[in-house]
């Protein structure tokens, strides 16, 4: 029960009152800031879409460049795969662009429209009521000042009348009567405006309470929306990373099939011009009448002398890092379910699969 009371004490309808209606401007400022935040989120998605769109465009252009057209065998196939997968990555990133427009940017536009409608409909009405209440309070304050001023004047004349006689007393009595008449009129005005303000305040309390509830509902929805919106973005980026990694895996598979010695051996077999070395032509005297014989040849039987430095391959970590999944469902994943892999993206893919 105490928990419910604690929660209700922080509800908007119980938190934005205070002296001189100080909570009004605070809540108005909060709602203005909420709209500004949503516009900033939308601008963020807009810029992210532009970046991704430009990246996808340049990737597609890159995939159309010639690559390895003079190669043969498995190396040619690997380079063809590199181009094809680059094009596939460009398509995947373009799909990501469309998904961001559909699932991130457009929902932001819709929610901002909802906020603007709230401002035009509900906030405009409550601002009008607030101004009416302030005007009524000013009327009451002015009427009170007049009434109190009349009371002071009446008391002053009454005090003077006890000290005067004759014509001076008559003049003070006339002033006293006029002051009493004016005071009675101002008293009636004061009472009227006070009763009107009381009715206005009752109506204001109902309207302001309703507006506070509407603002809290909208803020509940907005915060949940931003959370879901950003979460959808993170998931979409993970999917693109997984797709990119799958493309890279296909490239790696084809590259693993490339055997350097086999490539060169096949080139020599398919396009070699033979092992026979023609000996240089010798001097033949012009006086010799018989036709020269065929040039002599010898078999090439050399031993290869390579000066190529040893290839420095990137080394993989001896023990790849463990990746702890986060997000919904991560609490159900124990220490034994930590994911190990040289590629963080592959680990992400396993996390997503586990959570699903």
Q: What is the mean pLDDT of the chain?
A: 84
Measure the CA–CA gap between 47 and 51, rounded to whole angstroms: 6
Residue in 35, 31, 37, 42 with CA at minimum distance from that of residue 216: 31
Residue in 75, 77, 74, 72 with CA at minimum distance from that of residue 271: 72
What are the tens digits of pLDDT across the range 238-248? 999 999 999 99
How far is residue 219 CA from its own chain's centroid? 17
The average pLDDT across 335-340 equals: 38
345 neighbors 316 (Cβ within 8 angstroms): no
Q: Judge whether residue 108 has pLDDT over 80.
A: yes
Task: Report the 10 Å Cβ neighbour count for 78.
Answer: 20
Collapse the DSSP code of 332 into the 3-class scheme (helix H, G, I; strand E, B; otherwise coil) and give the result: helix
What are the tens digits of pLDDT across the range 300-325? 888 888 888 876 665 554 444 444 44
Count Cα neighbours of 36 within 13 Å in the Cβ-side half-sphere.
Answer: 6
Check residue 314 and give its pLDDT: 59
Check residue 291 and give its pLDDT: 63
Handedness of CA 163, 165, 168, 169 (dihedral sign): positive
Check residue 279 and give its pLDDT: 82
What are the tens digits of pLDDT across the range 1-28? 445 446 678 899 999 999 989 999 999 9
- Residue ranges of domains in the chain, CATH in brackets: 21-141+202-284 (1.20.1270.60), 316-356 (no CATH)
Check residue 289 and give its pLDDT: 60
């Amino acid at each position: 029960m105490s928990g419910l009371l604690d929660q209700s004490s922080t509800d908007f309808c119980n938190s934005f009152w205070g002296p001189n209606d100080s909570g009004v401007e605070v809540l108005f400022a909060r709602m203005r800031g909420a709209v500004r935040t949503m516009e900033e989120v939308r601008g963020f998605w807009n810029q992210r879409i532009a970046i991704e769109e430009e990246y996808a465009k340049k990737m597609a252009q890159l995939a159309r460049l010639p690559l390895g057209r003079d190669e043969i065998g498995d190396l040619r196939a690997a380079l063809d795969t590199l181009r094809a997968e680059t094009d596939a990555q460009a398509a995947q990133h373009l799909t990501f662009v469309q998904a961001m427009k559909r699932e991130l940017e457009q929902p932001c536009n819709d929610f901002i429209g909802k906020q603007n409608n709230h401002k035009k409909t509900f906030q405009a009405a409550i601002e009008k009521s607030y101004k009416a209440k302030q005007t009524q309070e000013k009327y009451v304050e002015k009427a009170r000042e007049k009434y109190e001023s009349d009371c002071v004047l009446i008391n002053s004349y009454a005090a003077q009348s006890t000290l005067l006689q004759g014509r001076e007393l008559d003049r003070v009595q006339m002033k006293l009567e006029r002051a009493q008449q004016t005071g009675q009129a101002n008293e009636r005005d004061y009472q009227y405006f006070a009763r009107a303000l009381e009715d206005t305040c009752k109506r204001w309390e109902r309207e302001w309470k309703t507006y506070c509830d509407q603002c809290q509902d909208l803020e509940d929805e907005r915060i949940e929306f931003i959370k879901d919106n950003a979460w959808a973005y993170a998931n979409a980026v993970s999917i693109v990373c997984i797709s990119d990694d799958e493309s890279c895996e296909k490239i790696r598979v084809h590259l693993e099939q490339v055997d350097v010695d086999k490539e060169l051996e096949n080139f020599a077999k398919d396009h070699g011009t033979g092992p026979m070395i023609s000996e240089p032509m010798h001097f033949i005297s012009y006086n010799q009448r018989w036709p020269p014989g065929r040039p002599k040849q010898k078999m090439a039987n050399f031993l290869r002398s390579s000066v190529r430095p040893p290839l420095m391959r990137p080394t993989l970590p001896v023990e790849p890092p463990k990746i702890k999944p986060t997000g919904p469902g991560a609490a159900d994943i124990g220490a034994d379910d930590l994911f190990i892999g040289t590629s963080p993206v592959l680990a992400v893919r396993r996390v997503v699969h586990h959570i699903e």
